[in-house]
Amino acid sequence: MLIAVGSDHRGIEFKKFIINCLIDMKLECKDFGSFSAESVDYPDIAESVGKAVVSGQCNYGILICGTGIGMSMAANKVKGIRAALCIDDFMAERARLHNDANVICLGAERGEAGVKQMLNKLFSTQFEGGRHQHRLDKMAKMETSC
Ligand code: RB5
């Protein structure tokens, strides 16, 4: 399993923490930047990570900015991305179970508490399908009709 990871300048240190968590979990990751404290625009990183996921180059994406909000908005503009802003393991579990999230967005300013539990839920929870599938189909349709 290959995880695409990206952050803006606000999330650089947090991204290092996430990468170490992924290594501890024996997951491979590809770092899409940013790599310095210089200000960058989060949509640029979200686009790179989103494209890596929809192309199949990576299985999931993790995006980090100050709050996770900008990254989630930007990532959801990439066709095929279902990005979920998660603040705890409950949200991470539901994002997979009900929404088949393929990108999770995290806020660096929220801090590291509970993040390992979130990652565990993210990678151990399968999409439930069933009644949720046609809702995802409707969202996919919106990508061309709205
Ligand atoms: C960057 O200043 C900040 O706006 C960004 O990291 C993020 O919090 C946006 O949602």
- In this prediction, residue 20 carries a pLDDT of 98
User: Beta-carbon neighbour count of residue 28 at 10 Å?
Assistant: 11
Tens-place pLDDT, residues 70-115 = 999 999 999 999 999 999 999 999 999 999 999 999 999 999 999 9
29 is catalytic: no
Determine the distance separating the centroid of ligand 1 and the alpha carbon of 66, expressed in angstroms.
5
Look at ligand 1, atom 3, and give the residue with the nearest C-alpha: 66
- Which residue from 89, 91, 145 is spatially nearest to 117, judged by alpha carbons? 89
The closest alpha carbon to 18, from 61, 52, 58, belongs to 61
Helix, strand, or coil (residue 62): strand
Question: What are the pLDDT digits (tens) for 36-67?
Answer: 999 999 999 999 999 999 999 999 999 999 99
Ligand 1 geometric centre to CA of 87 (Å): 16
Active-site residue, from 65, 86, 132, 146: 65
Query: How confident is the model at residue 92, as a pLDDT?
Result: 98
Calculate Rg over the CA atoms of the chain: 14
Given the candidates 3.30.1300.10, 3.40.190.180, 3.40.1400.10, 1.10.10.10, the CATH classification of the domain at 2-145 is 3.40.1400.10
Residue spans of the domains in the chain: they are: 2-145
Report the chain's mean pLDDT, rounded to a whole number.
Answer: 97
